[in-house]
Amino acid sequence: MEPVTKTALVTGASSGIGRATALAFAIAGYRVLATGRDQARLDLLTAAHPDGIETVVGDIDGPKACADLVETCVSRFGRLDVLVNCAGIIKRADVEHTTDADWRSIMGVNLDAPFYLSRAALPHLRETKGRIINVASDWGLRGGEHAAAYCASKGGLVLLTRAMARDHAREGITINAVCPGDVVTPMLEKEAADEGLALSEALKTWDSESPSGRMTQPDEVAALILYLASDAAAQINGTAMLIDGGLCA
Ligand SMILES: NC(=O)c1ccc[n+]([C@@H]2O[C@H](COP(=O)([O-])OP(=O)(O)OC[C@H]3O[C@@H](n4cnc5c(N)ncnc54)[C@H](O)[C@@H]3O)[C@@H](O)[C@H]2O)c1
């Protein structure tokens, strides 16, 4: 019998943790559908690893876009083994300074899209006894300052993960969340700007806040996601795993 090539659908793959995750899965031998909003960055990703990565550019804004993405993956690869919900946005603001539009867009990308993508993916994951890995945050487990909508969205994602894990365990599907602390990605540049901080100063502060003395790198988060997708992780289900250098300890 031909060995099966597993497939992964990774959102937010044009930068940061999503890019590192798409690469890690491709290097591990998966066929990867990497999605993001920036075609030029997605082209750099496929140039970095020409074998195994295909790309789709677009916004994950609503049920149709998410269902179409899952169908694209299944029609190109014939199966879906792993869904990694990594796309996310932040706007640093307390509740009084969060506009209706910011609340909706943060909820739309960080919580609605994982729900729509998971719903569309489940029939295919049932076939493959597949995995969903949601990229939440330490701020999905505790509050952070000036990030009310972001914390609410990530807290919702952690509980969506846990509820789904219970519902689908008997079908052989596992659903977990990873909860990074500060990771060196373009999102941190946005956060520094929102907070009116010089990037170099903000990076020094965030390094020193971690007991490990440094922030986490995207490929360290990608390695955890890849592990959660592996056969060795079959009994890990419904968890929200911190990867934060001890920040929340
Ligand atoms: N960087 C950190 O410190 C940190 C910490 C905890 C959690 N996270 C989470 O990690 C995930 C990845 O973020 P990152 O740090 O790599 O930042 P990033 O900004 O590099 O990546 C976010 C990705 O999401 C994509 N995205 C945003 N809105 C989208 C939309 N509407 N449609 C499609 N794609 C969209 C962006 O294009 C980008 O590729 C996010 O969910 C973020 O909340 C990051």
pLDDT-above-90 percentage for the chain: 97
How far apart, in Å, are the Cα atoms of 159 and each of 136, 184, 240? Answer: 10, 26, 9
> Global pTM?
0.98
12 lines ligand 1 (CB under 6 A): yes
187 and 176 within one domain: no
Range of the structural domain that residue 177 is part of:
7-181+217-242
Q: List Cβ<8 Å contacts ≥24 apart for 160-165.
A: 160/111, 160/114, 160/115, 160/118, 160/134, 161/132, 161/134, 161/136, 161/238, 161/240, 162/238, 162/240, 164/118, 164/132, 165/237, 165/238
pLDDT of residue 21: 98
247 in any annotated domain:
no
222 and 209 within one domain: no
Give the tens place of pLDDT for each residue, 200-234: 999 999 999 999 999 999 999 999 999 999 999 99
pLDDT of residue 181: 97
Give the tens place of pLDDT for each residue, 120-170: 999 999 999 999 999 999 999 999 999 999 999 999 999 999 999 999 999
249 in any annotated domain:
no
Averaged confidence pLDDT in the chain: 97
2 in any annotated domain:
no
Alpha carbon nearest to ligand 1 atom 16, residue = 16
146 and 83 within one domain: yes
14 lines ligand 1 (CB under 6 A): yes
State how many domains the chain has: 2
Give the tens place of pLDDT for each residue, 233-244: 999 999 999 999
Burial class (CB in 10 A: 0-12, 13-18, 19+), 208: exposed
195 and 91 within one domain: no
Distance separating alpha carbons of residues 73 and 168, to the nearest angstrom: 21
